[in-house]
Amino acid sequence: MNGKVVRIGGASGFWGDSSLGAPQLVQSGQIDFLVFDYLAELTMSILAGARLKKPEMGYATDFVTVAMKSVLKDVVDKGIRVISNAGGVNPEGCAEALRALAAEQGVEVKIAVVTGDNVMPILPDLRAAEPPVRELQSGAPLPAKVLTANAYLGALPIKAALDAGAQIVITGRCVDSAVTLGTLMHAFNWSVTNYDRLSGGSLAGHILECGCQATGGLHTDWQDVPDWAHMGYPIVECAEDGSFMVTKPAGTGGLIAPQCVAEQLLYEIHDPANYLLPDVTCDWREVRIEPAGEERVHVSGALGRQPTDTYKVSATYLDGFKISAQLSIVGFEAVAKARRTGEAILERVGEMLKARGMQPLSATNIEVLGAESCYGPHAMPELDRAREVVLRLTACHAEKAALELLAREIAPAGTSWAPGTTGSGGGRSSASPSIRQYAFLLNKERLTPAVTLDGKAIPTPGHAKANAPAAGAAPAAKLPAAGPVDAPQGWTEVPLIRLAWARSGDKGNTSNIGIIARRPEWLPLLRAELTEARVAEYLRYLVDGPVTRYDLPGIHAFNLVCEQALGGGGMASLRNDPLGKGMAQILLSFPVRVPAHWLS
């Protein structure tokens, strides 16, 4: 890489990530900027609830009390600038807490705050708008009682804050990659219409945004990833043309390899030709990910087009209550005992609710953990003979009292039914609000992002405006030719994991499963085997909607987007895996017919 290089470390992938990320990266001496991502889709509702109890709360407290407490003096001394979306629903409160920490440590630091993502004040107008607001996936109207509604802002307010001299920038809701793109737009003074570079910078942010997932975390070949206890957090070294290197602090654990970075590229994207962000429409189909020396991978080839004129808004609303309870079952026929126990509890509680004149449970789910419940018809038959399993019982109801009744009927199983019933998981379960997500699009003109630097307003471009003619549809992907397959030693059937790496993620009730061929020449056969129809049939017990396949020939991969796949997704789902983290692992058991000599 020639010319100026900007080095950015990604210290957090979610609220709850390890406290080791920030000090590891700061002490490495390998970064100029430090970025943090804290805000999963439902974290905003959790933070809103915290602020209702204490007005000064509503932000990711770990950012101040753990991460910055450990590195604030060092980042100031080393001139490292920090950008974080830890502000949640109260970025000003987060900044005040950080100022108090700085005063306590005797440190002077310039702190900027980005606001303007809160959509709650304009909801009354949106309810009366024509055409009416509709949910992106289901088409449902706006719920009556919304808990939170925040737009995913872009990178321009972050750039403005850094341009004004901020040493630390705290935002509310923005797209995860914006903390990195805003940094690069500031460092290289990229134009808002240089879409290829904006796409490359967004990809760099996408690689950083989940912490160790880019450095060997969640890797399909987990056994090849060394030293889990000292996993290195990711660093991107970015060039002005939008390409970048991926690496990690010297001497740390983890694995820097093309397949690890490719898995993260595919994580939680849908159509790679139209990955919509506030600042750019990304096309990552021809991205190249190549080894570039020890613990270094080079990423290039991102393309971009004009962004849309809308923000995505993530709202949450209350939909009754939910409860989950667990019992351990030990001994012969533990699986059958667990299933019968769950069915008996639900039958008993159903009758009790009816006798009290209450509505039946609105939704229920019985899972037997340890017997591959998540694999459905593909579970290994021999696991029916498992002698230790966990019964997981989940239910929903509009009234909390109904679920409290259910909670009381879990423990009696310990003396009433199956021998070997034990371990109720820490006492009686309690009902909690069932919070559902609601996503919709909002014209950018309806919001006005703002930036203050130590309380003083600074000029802020509100959003990326279209200064170029509207871009047409992305051209078709250039797929490798699928020639005849030679099998001199005959054919054999193997699970997909022998031929591919995979990773899955979620957006609402949709799961995406990225598939990367272990060898580029295997990609045509994998495409022929894993058609949309065959994948939909294999996962029919989990996926209620269509399956759509998108190609990424640059990394010899494709992305399978499965709609209505997560039982509602997030906190609304009754499943043990509400975020679809195991979907890729399940699909890796898919049987694939291949020439026998491929595996020799």
User: What is the amino acid identity at position 514?
Assistant: G
- Note whether 481 and 157 are within 8 A (CB): no
Lookup: tokens for 433: 């609000």
Q: What is the mean pLDDT of residues 189-212?
A: 97
- Half-sphere exposure of residue 64, counting CA atoms within 13 Å on the CB side? 26
Burial class from Cβ neighbours inside 10 Å (0-12, 13-18, 19+) for residue 100 reads: exposed
Query: In this structure, how many other beta carbons lie within 10 angstroms of the beta carbon of residue 280?
Result: 31
Q: pTM of this prediction? A: 0.95
Higher-confidence residue of 463 and 252: namely 252
451-490: pLDDT as tens digits: 999 999 999 886 666 554 445 667 777 787 777 788 889 9
Give me the pLDDT at residue 471, please: 52
Q: What is the separation, in whole angstroms, between the first and last Cα of the chain?
A: 38
Domain 491-599 bears CATH identifier 3.30.160 = no
Q: Give the per-residue pLDDT at 464.
A: 66
Q: How confident is the model at residue 426 (pLDDT cuts 50, 70, 90)?
A: confident
More confident residue, 123 or 435: 123
What is the structure's pLDDT at 469?
46
Q: For 152-280, where are the E strands, in sequence order?
A: 168-171, 235-239, 244-247, 275-276
Classify the phi-psi angles of 61: left when phi > 0, otherwise alpha if psi is within -120 to 50, otherwise beta. alpha
User: CA dihedral defined by 119, 122, 125, 131, rounded to 10 degrees?
Assistant: -20
Indicate the DSSP class of residue 505: E
Domain spans of the chain, in order of start: 5-117+152-307, 320-436, 491-599
Per cent of the chain over pLDDT 70 is: 98
At position 587, the amino acid (one-letter code) is L
pLDDT in tens, 202-214: 999 999 999 999 9
Q: Do domains 320-436 and 491-599 have the same CATH topology?
A: no
In sequence order, what DSSP letters do the residues of 353-388 get, joined into one string?
A: HHHTTPPPPSEEEEEEETTTGGGGGGS-GGGGG-SE
pLDDT at 307 over 90: yes
pLDDT at 466: 55
Residue 347 and residue 558 in contact, taking contact as beta carbons nearer than 8 Å: no
Q: What is the mean predicted confidence (pLDDT) over 283-301?
A: 98
**Cα–Cα distance, 65 to 451 (Å, whole number):** 24
Determine the pLDDT at residue 600. 79
Distance of alpha carbon 252 from alpha carbon 231, whole angstroms:
6
Angstrom distance (rounded) from CA 322 to CA 433? 6
Rounded CA-CA distance 60/57 in Å is 8
Average pLDDT over residues 580-586: 97
Cβ-Cβ contacts under 8 Å for 199 (sequence gap 6 or more): 242, 280, 282, 283, 284, 302, 303, 304
CA geometry: angle 72, 77, 81, nearest 5 deg: 65
- pLDDT for position 472: 60
Helix (H, G, I), strand (E, B) or coil at 67: helix
Contact, 326 vs 424, CB < 8 A? yes
User: How far apart are alpha carbons 206 and 203 in whole angstroms?
Assistant: 5
Quickly name the fold that domain 320-436 has: GMP Synthetase; Chain A, domain 3 (3.30.300)
Residues 178, 518: Cα–Cα separation, whole Å: 31
Residue 1: predicted pLDDT: 64
- What confidence score (pLDDT) does residue 461 get? 81
What pLDDT is stored for residue 246 in this prediction? 98
Length, in residues, of the chain:
600
* pLDDT computed for residue 40 by the predictor: 84
Mean pLDDT, the chain, whole residue set: 95
Does residue 597 have a pLDDT over 80?
A: yes
Q: Looking at the predicted structure, is the pLDDT value of residue 72 above 80? A: yes
